[in-house]
Amino acid sequence: MISTQAESLEMARTQLYIDGVWVDGQNGATLEVINPATEEPIATVAYGTGSDARHALEAAQRALPVWQKTNVYERAAKLKKIADLMRENVDYLATALTMEQGKPLAEAKGETMASAATFEWFAEEAKRAYGRTIPASANNKRLFTVRHPVGVCAAVSPWNFPLILQARKLAPALAVGCTTVSRPSSQTPLSLLRLFELMEQVELPAGSINLLMGPPAELMTEFMENRICRKISFTGSTEVGKELVRNSAQQMKRLSLELGGHAPVIIFPDVDVESVAKASVIGKFRNNGQVCICPTRFYAHKDIEKDYLEACVEETKKLVLGNGLDPDVNIGPMFENRALDKTDAIVQDATSKGAQCLTGGGRSNQFERGYYYEPTVLTSVSSDMSIMTEEPFAPVMPIMDYSDIDEVIAKANDTEFGLAAYVLTNDLSAAFKMAEGLEFGTIGINDTVPAAPQSPFGGLKESGIGRENSIEGMDVYLETKAVSLAIQE
């Protein structure tokens, strides 16, 4: 059980952070943040405007030469200190994360520690932002490259991973000498506000990091139209991502886009059914299925499909639904009421077209308040159901069978999304064939949690442009300048 004291959230900071100062938004507007477990307001935060975004960009522009000239080893030491502070304050950060977003506290702590690891990894990697020397075709020339930070970057992220999605942008950008303006989802700003409080302690130059809550389209218009902003790194839906691509043409604004997914899971007949069912259920219902790389379409080989289905239903029934602050809970509430409506619509569409619901299938009636949905397993699923074509973002597990490896690869690839795919097998040849044949940016083989700071993360096809994490995730904050030097022979 959770104590009632844990239900209230003391927030030291709730304002915008611009130019090294905590301020109200220009028009004094505020927004209540709601706990999805209780539907109660837990904090009131400042809600800025386009002109606040302009001030933040101007502050970031002023800070740029100072931060850029700060030696990379000094920048790295500050980022490493941020990582240390996050680890020391994991409970402080994770409690806010659970209360604003709904995920169980263990998952929130995991997200916090992974965010700290991201700051630490980029602190180290920026020291290796090497250029090249290039053999010239004339004896009197010397060719080499210089890596140059892109400049002021906007970091825009959604509500499902409020800390790590900002960490994946801020850590590489700051590490290579860019300055930043962060815009989290205004519905989940609390853990990031706490992180900014901690970041204040490392004394970055005023203006090098800024934080805004506010209306998404208005703030984005400022990022897009203001020439100070050289790059926008956006995580969110493919629909909004496409709009940003269209709008970026005017100034050739640099974009990194981490967008939606619809991940297939292919289960081979050689697996230990019980253990892969357990792993599948953990992967599927993590954060209620509200994960961009969430497994969303399960293809089990026909020889084991019946056993796999039964084992998944059994595992799903064991999951404990409730307030994420309760240590016994494995699934918290969904993020908002709209998500419950969308999940209902997906399930109803599937069952009306012949799917069978083996467990779950509706809103939970265990709770008086909160956005709870029963974890759901569906079978007899067909390709005309919306769950197979649209990104579900829901605690619903559709399981189908297949008999032929080429046929299942074709089915898995038959989507405009290309973010993540999963393969469960002990057959090395099959694993290679899948890694080579599947058109997805991340392929988890016997691994349903495949993201790591040192490994590239991003989408093929309409799931995005660019990569986060890893060397590639640092490169997108650097431009390459070629220098050609003619010498006297």
Q: Of the candidates 108, 178, 292, 397, which one interacts with ligand NAD according to CB under 6 A?
A: 292
| Residue 63 or 229 having the CB closest to ligand NAD | 229
Residue nearer to ligand NAD on the CB measure, 425 or 463:
463
Q: In angstroms, what is the minimal distance from the CB of 220 to ligand NAD? A: 3
Encode 165-185: b = buried (16+ Cβ within 10 Å), e = exposed. bbbbbbbbbbbbbbbbbbbbb
Catalytic residue annotation: 258, 292
Residues whose CB falls within 8 Å of the CB of residue 462, separated by 6 or more in sequence, listed in order: 238, 241, 242, 259, 260, 416, 417, 418
Strand partners, 231: 153, 254
Residues 33-52 that bind ligand NAD (CB under 6 A): none
Under the criterion CB under 6 A, does residue 280 sit at the interface with ligand NAD? no
Q: Rounded to the nearest 5°, which phi and psi values hold at 306?
A: -65, -45
378: which strand partners?
A: 357, 398
- Minimum Å gap between C-beta 458 and ligand NAD is 7
325 CB-near residues (< 8 Å, 6+ apart): 2, 6, 7, 37, 95, 98, 99, 105
Enumerate residues 165-204 that contact ligand NAD by CB under 6 A.
165, 185
Q: Work out whether 240 is an interface residue with ligand NAD (CB under 6 A).
A: yes
By beta-carbon proximity to ligand NAD, the closer residue of 78 and 168 is: 168
CB nearer ligand NAD, residue 76 or residue 228: 228
Q: Under the criterion CB under 6 A, does residue 107 sit at the interface with ligand NAD?
A: no
Query: Does 476 engage in binding with ligand NAD (CB under 6 A)?
Result: no
Instruction: Provide the mask over 375-394, with x wherever binding to ligand NAD is found by CB under 6 A and - wherever it is not.
Output: ----------------x-x-
> DSSP letter string over 13-41?
--SEEETTEEE--TT--EEEEEETTTTEE
Q: Which of 36, 102, 162, 236 binds ligand NAD (CB under 6 A)?
A: 236
Q: Which residue's structure tokens are 């400022």?
A: 222
Burial of 365 from C-beta contacts in 10 A (0-12 / 13-18 / 19+): exposed
18, 170, 192, 259: which one binds ligand NAD (CB under 6 A) = 259
> Which residue's Cβ lies closest to ligand NAD?
236
CB of residue 216 to ligand NAD, shortest distance in Å: 3
- The values of phi and psi at residue 195, to 5°, are -65, -40
Work out how close the CB of 418 gets to ligand NAD at its nearest, in angstroms, rounded to a whole number.
Answer: 10
